[in-house]
Chain A
Amino acid sequence: MRIKFKLNGKEVTKEVEVHKRAIDFLRDDLKITSIKEGCGEGECGACTIIVNGKTVHSCLMLAVELDGKEIITLEGVEDSIKMAFVKAGAIQCGFCTPGFIISTKYLLDNNPTPSEEEIRDALEGNLCRCTGYIKIIEAVKIAAKGCENND
């Protein structure tokens, strides 16, 4: 089936088999390897992408469902959020980081000045197996400050 969608602002048209999951299509066919497969069942959040402004698990959807949608992956996230993770040292093995950054973008797009509790709620679907949560929460606070300054 031929699908057409926007990936990080760019139009993509591609042929895809109907049984293929979005994560496999994005990683294998389009080489967007920032999307990680942790659990493959929606528990860990490493495969999170933004579809039409909402975070979803790319392991729990078909590639054909991307048709007509606007997709944002790590590559389409503003540098200020990524730099906040670097500044806070919120990256250990790095496997969960793209998912956390996508969840952070979704939070800050909808709530630029979150409280710590709101940050924790927003990240509850992402697991860090290195358990570096304190620094990740710190990173989101730095990113939120960055948003404030930009305003």
Chain B
Amino acid sequence: MIKNYYSPSTLDELLKIKNNTNGVVFSGGTDLFVKMRYGIIKPQTVIDTKKIKSAIKLENRKLIIPLNTTYTDLLEFLKKNKTNLFLEKIIKLIGSPMIRNRGTPIGNIANASPAGDFILATYLLNGNIIIKPTNRIIPIENFILGPSKIDLAQNEIIYAIEIDVKNNYKFFFEKVGKRNAMIISIASIAVLLKENNGKIEDISICFGSVSPTILRDKNIESKIIGEEFSIELFKYLANEFEKLSKPINDVRASKSERKKLVYNLTIKAFYNLKNEVVSI
């Protein structure tokens, strides 16, 4: 049962309380309170960060999403600044309006679920995690160590996520689930593609829920730069990623169904990207 509740209004104060109490830090609480209900965690001290003022920033072709930014805040910012608008497709399938009004991308990353939709977006956009007070800046693939495991010390907090600004790309995202709202994906794919005269100029391909962490292979991506954007290429990719995926059997789907989905989603990505009009 919670015995102490703190709501500091500055970052310094937050870090001090965290260091002294080892309390659980939260903003939206959309995961914390579910975990507490199931007795997965039983914190005595919780530290609410919402009184700390923060604002999303666009700097040097990077988008910096600080603590307390909700999915709703982020979507409003992207629309207002007409940047990375493709992310709307991912954000709109996270939870429900109520969850998006409280839940935060940082919370999603702190949970380190293989199905985390914003973790997928962060991998896709070469994200870095900015940590305080140590000021460590770690690439997402080094920060997420496995399901529910992150590289964060007891006295540290995730302060912000930094992702690439990418506009004028073709984008495909699909999340396989049984309902539109509140779905935790069975498997998901996100592809960002820049073409030049029918050839791949830049590409980023990520899969969710088919490995202990998000599946992305930068070697494969760099190997296919300059290749023709074709079904043959995507069949090759579908085979490679099916081999690389290491899904589990769980209540949502079997291992073999997930492997098949990796293949099929890659092929589906090709046909959708082919017909996709480049948008911002």
Chain A bound to chain B? yes
A binding-site residues for B, Cβ under 8 Å: 1, 18-19, 21, 40-43, 45, 48, 54-57, 59-62, 64-65, 103, 106, 121-122, 124-126
- Decide: A18 near B3, CB < 8 A? Known: A60-B33, A65-B48: yes
Cβ-defined contact, A65 with B50, below 8 A? yes
Complex interface: chain B residues within 8 A of A103 (CB): 97-98
Name the residue on B nearest A62 (C-beta).
B5
Which residue of chain A lies nearest to B28 when distances are taken between CB atoms in the complex?
A: A60
15 contacts between A and B (CB under 8 A): A1-B5, A18-B4, A21-B33, A42-B34, A42-B99, A42-B182, A54-B101, A55-B97, A55-B98, A57-B30, A57-B99, A57-B102, A62-B29, A124-B97, A124-B181
The interface on chain B, measured as residues whose beta carbon lies within 8 A of the other chain's beta carbons, has a size of 27
Q: Choose among A18, A40, A62, A125 the residue that contacts B96 (Cβ–Cβ < 8 A).
A: A125
Cβ-based interface call for B223 (8 A): no
Answer whether A60 and B72 are a contact pair too, CB < 8 Å, given A19-B1, A41-B34, A42-B98: no
Contact between chains at A59 and B181 (CB < 8 Å): no
Minimum Cβ distance to chain A for residue B141 (Å) = 29
Interface residues of B in 1-36 (CB under 8 A from A): 1-5, 7, 28-30, 33-34
Is B139 in the interface zone, CB < 8 Å from A?
no
User: Of all chain A residues, which has the CB nearest B45?
Assistant: A18
* Contact among B1, B37, B72, B102 for A41, CB-based, below 8 A: B37
Name A64's contact: one of B1, B5, B101, B102 (CB within 8 Å).
Answer: B5
Q: For window 88-122 of chain B, which residues contact chain A by CB distance below 8 Å?
A: 92, 95-99, 101-102
Q: Once the chains are docked, how many angstroms separate the CA of A43 from the CA of B95?
A: 8
Chain A nearest CB, measured from B114 CB (Å): 20
| Cβ-defined contact, A62 with B98, below 8 A | no
Q: Give me 17 other A-B pairs in contact (C-beta within 8 A), A42-B98, A126-B96 excluded.
A: A18-B4, A41-B33, A41-B34, A42-B30, A42-B33, A42-B99, A48-B98, A55-B98, A56-B98, A56-B102, A57-B99, A59-B33, A61-B29, A62-B29, A64-B7, A125-B99, A125-B182
Residues on the A chain within 8 Å of B50, using CB: 65
| A122–B100 alpha-carbon span in the complex (Å) | 12
A121 to B3, CA, bound (A): 38
CB distance from A19 to the nearest CB of B (A): 4
Is B126 interfacial (CB 8 A cutoff)? no
Report how far A59 CA is from B32 CA in the complex, Å: 12
Q: What CA separation (Å) do A125 and B180 show in the bound complex? A: 9
User: Is A125 touching B2 in the complex (CB atoms < 8 A)?
Assistant: no
In the complex, A43 Cα to B2 Cα: how many Å? 23
Residue of chain B at shortest CB distance from A64: B5
Compute the total of residue contacts between A and B using a CB distance below 8 Å.
Answer: 76
Determine whether the beta carbon of A61 is less than 8 Å from that of B95. Answer: no
Return chain B residues, CB-CB under 8 Å to A40: 37
Q: What is the bound-complex CA distance between A103 and B101, given in angstroms?
A: 12
Question: Could you tell me if A45 and B96 are in contact, using CB atoms closer than 8 angstroms?
Answer: yes
Q: Enumerate the 6 nearest inter-chain pairs by beta-carbon distance, A residue then B residue, closest first.
A: A125-B96, A124-B181, A19-B2, A18-B5, A54-B101, A60-B33
**In the bound complex, what is the Cα–Cα distance between A122 and B3 (angstroms)?**
36
- For A18, what are the chain B residues with a Cβ–Cβ distance below 8 Å? 2-5
User: How far is A65 from B2 in the complex, measured between Cα atoms in Å?
Assistant: 14
Chain A CB count within 10 A is highest, among B72, B95, B97, B98, for: B98
Within 8 A of A (CB), among B65-93: 72, 92
* A125 and B33 contacting across the interface, CB-CB below 8 Å: no
Chain A min CB distance to B48 (Å): 6
Say how far B214's CB is from chain A's closest CB, in angstroms: 24
Q: List the A side residues contacting B181 at CB < 8 Å.
A: 124-125
> Which residue of B has the minimal Cβ distance to A47?
B98
What is the minimal beta-carbon distance from A65 to any residue of chain B, in angstroms?
6
Min distance, Cβ B209 to any Cβ of chain A, angstroms: 19
CB proximity of A7 to chain B, nearest CB, Å: 19
* B-chain residues with CB within 8 Å of residue A41 when the two chains form the complex: 33-34, 37
